[in-house]
């Protein structure tokens, strides 16, 4: 027959034992809290020293793509402003090409309004010596109403821009709202010789956030939660981009 062993705890030892028990509970919790705080602090510093220009496409008299009363320029600005806040959260210095509903041309009726607008955007990117830029747009395609989802464009001769576009594209492919509709987005980044991409010296991308020609994208691009998700995922992708190239 096995003998049972018991431990006799003297009354004077109880306070010490209670201290040990309490500390065993507190220390792991404090350690987790410290780790979370450290990660959040590191996250807030991820883009310190980086100057990023956020370009909200179109504006003012230029509404961009349209569908009924829905104007691309408003969607672009809403997402761009959210993106600015997310990048600031990560420690970046952020310059906007516009932060209100205005065009960037010289406002002279000389037939060159669109070109002047684009030149001004390039000037802002170049004069701020940006480390990279992100231009926010919404797409529209005639005759293909089923086409949906984001597409990220980069200049075909810029390897850094291609890397940036790839990581942003991968991030946007996992947007929550598409998952809620059981839609799998398999977008791939694409090259494009757009004016903004051709005439800037730093890495940069044009993010087409969805298709106004598609009923679901039209609905989602007006949804604040979806706009915020786009902004968060672009900012997180920028952090990943710098982690991979530096």
Are 38 and 84 in a shared domain?
A: no
Give the model's pLDDT for residue 12. Answer: 60
Give the model's pLDDT for residue 108. Answer: 67
Give the model's pLDDT for residue 32. Answer: 41
Count of domains observed in the chain = 2
| Contact in structure between 111 and 69 (CB atoms under 8 Å) | no
Are 39 and 98 in a shared domain?
A: no
CA-nearest of 85, 92, 96 to 232 is: 85
- Give the pLDDT confidence of 57-105 residue by residue, as tens digits: 999 999 999 999 999 999 999 999 999 999 999 999 999 999 999 999 8
Report the DSSP pairing between strands 132-139 and 204-211. parallel
Residues 193, 167: Cα–Cα separation, whole Å: 20
Give the model's pLDDT for residue 30. Answer: 47
Domain-located, residue 240? yes
Domain end (from 6, 26, 46): 46
Give the model's pLDDT for residue 33. Answer: 46
Low-confidence ranges of the chain (pLDDT < 70): 1-43, 108-111
224-245 and 159-172 helices, crossing angle to 10°: 140
Give the model's pLDDT for residue 2. Answer: 46
| Contact in structure between 65 and 72 (CB atoms under 8 Å) | yes
| Contact in structure between 134 and 55 (CB atoms under 8 Å) | yes
Are 27 and 124 in a shared domain?
A: no
Domain-located, residue 158? yes
Q: Name the CA dihedral angle for 173, 43, 80, 178, rounded to a multiple of 10 degrees.
A: 20
């Amino acid at each position: 027959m096995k003998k049972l062993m018991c431990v006799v705890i003297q009354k004077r030892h109880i306070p010490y034992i209670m201290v040990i028990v309490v500390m065993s509970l507190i220390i792991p919790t404090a350690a987790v809290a410290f780790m979370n705080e450290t990660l959040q602090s590191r996250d807030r510093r991820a883009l310190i020293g980086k100057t990023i220009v956020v370009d909200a496409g179109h504006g003012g008299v230029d509404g961009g793509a349209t569908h009924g009363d829905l104007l691309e320029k408003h969607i672009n600005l809403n997402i761009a402003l959210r993106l600015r806040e997310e990048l600031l959260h990560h420690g970046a210095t952020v310059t906007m090409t516009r932060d209100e509903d205005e065009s960037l041309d010289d406002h002279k009726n000389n037939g060159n309004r669109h070109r002047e607008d684009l030149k001004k955007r390039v000037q802002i990117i170049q004069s701020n010596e940006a480390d990279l830029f992100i231009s926010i747009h919404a797409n529209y395609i005639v005759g293909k109403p089923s086409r949906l989802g984001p597409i990220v464009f980069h200049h075909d001769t810029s390897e850094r821009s291609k890397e940036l576009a790839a990581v942003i594209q991968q991030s946007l492919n996992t947007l929550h709202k598409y998952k809620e509709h059981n839609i799998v987005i398999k977008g791939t980044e694409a090259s494009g010789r757009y004016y903004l991409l051709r005439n800037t010296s730093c890495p940069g991308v044009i993010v087409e956030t969805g298709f106004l020609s598609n009923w679901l994208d039209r609905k989602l691009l007006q949804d604040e939660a979806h706009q915020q998700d786009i902004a968060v995922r672009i900012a997180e992708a920028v952090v990943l981009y710098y982690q991979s190239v530096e």
